[in-house]
Amino acid sequence: MPRSMVVGLSGNITRPSKTFAFVDHVANEIMRRNGLAANCYDIEALGPSFPTARRAGDLDRQARAILDSVVEADLLVVGSPTYKGSYTGLFKHFFDLLDPAALRGKPVVLTATGGGDRHALMVEHQLRPLFGFFEAFALPTAIYAAERDLLDGKPASEALLKRLAQVVGEAQTALNLRQVASIAAE
């Protein structure tokens, strides 16, 4: 049986990125605590074919491999820097390339970063509806990290560390339920 895969996707368009470091940290924490494998990508990793693609078939091999990795993941960790109260346009463009049924039932950890608390509800008002459209299973706890909560993209505040621990537990439960459903379907 192949090892379960956690895939992180960050909507940042610059490197280095606090958002990518945070998504990577969350994905690797879930991986480490649950004995899984993990890969993380950012928008920049999608390469030059991505911004002009109108459908998945327009992507080059590198970008298509990342898209396929997201679709085939057992659990996703997604995150975007907050830009004008929402996720970045290229983050949304990535998901526009997916078939609407591609993420049905897939557990998704929602994360976002921003300069301060005034954007904290972005995960609830922007990300959660996006993944609701795909009928994905957005985990109950979402994580928003303000600049003061992070140090080099890693959680530095006690409140953020508590939410991260909560998400890791929810991720394990979601993965266990997914495995039971897969066995029952056989």
Dihedral of alpha carbons 30, 96, 182, 40, sign: negative
Q: Which domains does the chain have, with CATH numbers?
A: 5-185 (3.40.50.360)
* Farthest-apart Cα atoms in the chain, separation: 47
Q: What is the pLDDT of residue 3?
A: 62
The amino acid present at 171, given as its one-letter code, is A
CA-nearest of 131, 132, 157, 129 to 144 is 157
pTM, entire model: 0.93
Phi, psi of 21 (to 5 degrees): -60, -40
Mean of all residue pLDDT scores within the chain: 91
Q: What is the pLDDT of residue 1?
A: 41
pLDDT above 70 covers a percentage of the chain that reads: 95
Q: What is the pLDDT of residue 184?
A: 67
pLDDT at 42 over 90: yes
CA-nearest of 11, 38, 22, 9 to 157 is 22
Kindly report, residue by residue over 44-71, the tens digit of the pLDDT.
Answer: 999 999 999 999 999 999 999 999 999 9
Kindly report, residue by residue over 87-131, the tens digit of the pLDDT.
Answer: 999 999 999 999 999 999 999 999 999 988 888 889 999 999 999
Token pair 């560390």: residue: 161
